[in-house]
Chain A
Amino acid sequence: MKRVLLLALALVMGLSLSARATPSHFATPVSAKSFKSCLVLSSTVLFDKSFAEATWDGMLEAKKKLHVTPKYLTSQSATDWAPNLEAAHTQGCDIIFATGFTFADVVKAAAKRHPGQDYAIVDYSYAPPSSVPNVRQMVYQTDQAAFLAGYLAAGMTKTGKIGTFGGQNIPTVTIFMDGFAEGANYYNHVHGTHVQVLGWNPKTKTGLFTGDFTNEAKGQTTTQNLMGQGADIILPVAGSVGLGTVAAVRNAGKGSVIWVDSDGCRTDAKDCKYYLTTVEKIMTPGAFNTIKAVMKGKFKGGSLYTGTLKNGGVNIAPYHQFASKVPTKLKAEVAGLRKSIIKGKLNINKWK
């Protein structure tokens, strides 16, 4: 029995070695001229319903339209980031994406080591952006879109209280919460109302956080707390933790959710009836356009792209199933504010 087992093992090993010698159709076909776009993740999660997934979608779009080869590398922990960036360079990636501010220092070091390699980083900008000349930096003014959502929520609440919470107290999260609170404050100013925002104070920068971006159960209890205090419209800024908010709203049989990043009615269609709208952070075109620029030799590193309402980098999604419930007057006000922000006629940060 033992011999048979050994023989079988040896056979598999032998086969696997010999198989390498003869190219088969299972090996990844890599032609000499193919263009490689690579994404280094900060964790092991690609489908995070946030920047990793959005960047990956942009790379898939580029695969379809520009025939690039998309690749991604996951990281077990922060200690894998630098080696992963190095591997992406060694493997001949033509453009390397890194998602998240945590990558800032390792990307800078890699960019300095390989000045001929093009990089792009999402959610971080160097000071000044030109100090790292081969890295394209992409940040998003999500507070502009969140301002509209806050204004909308303040107009839609029946209890006079709206709520929000984040995954962690980091700027890419709290910028949503800032805009949301500012929008509600502006509504109060315009309508003379006293709608309260629970879960975030933009002045003191303190609020409600679950601690991570994956624990849905925590999202559910946090939302129940907010609803217990009277909030009926909730903005969770915490990745998939927000699905717990949807569950809480479903169980309560009342209230609604404002989703973030990608339109909730698209990524989670079965729960569409709970989504009032989505504060969209539209990263997919950013990734696609970056790849396109590198391919055409028009890539400009050391530059900063800021996604705004004006350039379509951020937006609020359609009301979908709430379209009939949002008063026409409120719709018109939100649309008007949108134009004012684009034209620079309204300083949203004044309404903290």
Chain B
Amino acid sequence: MSESPEQLQAEVAAGNPPQTVTEYRREQSFPVRLLRDLAVPVLALFTGLLVGAIIIGLSAPDFWDHLRHGEVLQAFGTGASLAGNAYYWLFKSAFGSRQAWSETGVQTVPLLFVGLSAAFSFRGGFFNIGAQGQFLFGAMTAVLMANHFAGMPGIIHIPIVLVLGFIGGAVWGSIAGILKARTGANEVITTLMLNYVAIYLVNWLLITPIFQRPGFPNPITSEAVPSALLPALPGYRIHLGVLIVLACAIIIWWILFRTTIGFQLQTVGANAAAATYAGISVAWTYILIMVIAGGLAGMAGTTQLLTTQTSVIPDFAGSYGFDAITVAILGRLHPIGVIFAAFLLGSLRSGAIGMQSATSLPYYIIIVIQAVIIAFMTSPHLIRQIFRVRQAAATGSESFSKGWAA
């Protein structure tokens, strides 16, 4: 609020006494607040889809043919028709059937794990972009242990493998934590570089006797034994990982907002120097952050291994390392927000795959549309300006994520 005294006086005279932000916020009823909080993301999604529609329309070969022949209306009709068809399939493939919901859920699980991992470390002011490596090491540990303990009943086998997968990611993640805590090494550089170390180390490990599938010259591990696999609904791909990851989200929320550790972590994130002054061990906090964040990313790799990709191959982690950052920021670094962000991205993914198979739109266009939607959703100021939505009152959580979210 940067109004001049003259303005404030004018408002008092007009019967609008200035209030503090908190009072202003409290004054509004819950539905109004909810509407206001949701307005920006919803409008952002809408704008992203709109721009995406234009891109799809322009990508239609018929569009340019019509335009060349001066048939402007037909040209726009073609473009709009293609875009409409594409979005119809996007939506239908993400939510149109039980199968679609199952696919969306499967896509959401790893995104949510890595999103929680990134959000947790960002909250502590630790800009960990090493989820890729932690994901891989979680999966590598899990595949080794799943087969080491082969023959156990699933009810014991699965939890053991999950915990060991967590530890695998945590060990790899804590390297960067220790480096920062002990030497002050910049974690952006160390986590990024450790990704490369992890990727190529894994590529090599895959052709060593410990990991390589026996009798196979390819860089591929053995399949995880069936008793370690997470149970799935018969005929669908949706699996128990959905419940596990939601439980993790709640646990992370609880740690962040209901425990001393969470308070210390957020204090370090807000101001490390002040935290030191207050008697918090910043070094230990960094290590703890990376143990948990690394573990969560490791769990992402583990659940992926125990569900859809039952063996580790060089390209195993896909783009999850970078998706982690997107999901965390989209979710405003709040565990509950991250759930929604992962779900949004997951539904775009499952929708995009159906959209591609139904409309034969080039895959690149789908990636562009996803990027556009995400770019708008992470630019709330732009959306507010376009749609002239008033700035909602600042909340505590936003101040932590400034510069990353909004």
Contacts and interface: CB of A to CB of B under 8 A. Distances in A.
B234 to A, nearest CB: 9
A345 interface: no
A251 interface: no
Nearest to A93: B357
Interface string A50-79: 000000000000000000000101101111
B356 A83 contact: no
A84 interface: yes
B81 A19 contact: yes
Contacts of A105: 223, 309-311
A267 interface: no
Interface string B184-216: 000000000000000000000000000000000
A86 B103 contact: yes
Contact of A26 (B50, B53, B60): B60
B371 to A, nearest CB: 12
Interface in B92-139: 93, 97, 99-100, 103, 106-107, 110
B358 A91 contact: yes
A93 B228 CA distance: 31
Interface in B45-90: 47, 49-50, 53-54, 57, 60, 62, 76-85, 87-88
B315 interface: yes
Given A12-B80, A73-B353, A82 B308 contact: yes
Interface in B316-369: 316-320, 349-350, 353-354, 356-360, 363-364, 367
Contact of B357 (A18, A71, A101): A71
Contacts of B363: 44, 74, 76
A86 B77 CA distance: 32
A24 interface: yes
B218 interface: yes
**In this complex, which of B237, B308, B316, B359 has the most chain A Cβ atoms within 10 angstroms of its Cβ?**
B308
Given A26-B62, A28-B360, A38-B357, A16 B217 contact: no
A6 B354 contact: no
A16 B83 contact: yes
Contacts of B310: 105, 109
Nearest to B323: A79
A205 B218 CA distance: 13
B90 to A, nearest CB: 11
B266 interface: no
Contacts of B99: 86, 90
B160 interface: no
A71 to B, nearest CB: 6
B386 A6 contact: yes
Interface residues of A, number: 48
Chain A interface SS verdict (over half): helix
Interface string A257-297: 00000000000000000000000000000000000000000
Given A6-B386, A102-B220, A105-B310, A15 B318 contact: no
B304 interface: yes
Nearest to B97: A90
Contacts of B53: 12-13, 16
Contact of B77 (A17, A19, A106, A113): A19
A77 B318 CA distance: 5
Interface in A2-43: 2, 6, 9-10, 12-13, 15-20, 24, 26-28, 38
Contact of B78 (A6, A10, A26, A102): A26
A27 B353 contact: no
A101 to B, nearest CB: 6
A114 B87 CA distance: 27
A327 interface: no
B308 A20 contact: no
A159 interface: no
B140 to A, nearest CB: 15
A274 to B, nearest CB: 31
A35 to B, nearest CB: 16
A87 B320 contact: no
B313 interface: yes
Interface string A77-101: 1111111101110110000000001
B357 A91 contact: yes
B354 A87 contact: yes
21 contacts: A9-B47, A12-B83, A16-B53, A17-B87, A19-B81, A20-B81, A20-B87, A26-B78, A26-B85, A28-B360, A73-B356, A74-B363, A77-B315, A79-B318, A79-B320, A81-B309, A90-B99, A91-B358, A106-B308, A109-B310, A170-B219
Interface of A: 2, 6, 9-10, 12-13, 15-20, 24, 26-28, 38, 44, 71, 73-74, 76-84, 86-88, 90-91, 101-102, 104-106, 109, 113-114, 169-171, 174, 205
Interface of B: 47, 49-50, 53-54, 57, 60, 62, 76-85, 87-88, 93, 97, 99-100, 103, 106-107, 110, 217-220, 223, 235, 237, 304, 308-311, 313, 315-320, 349-350, 353-354, 356-360, 363-364, 367, 386
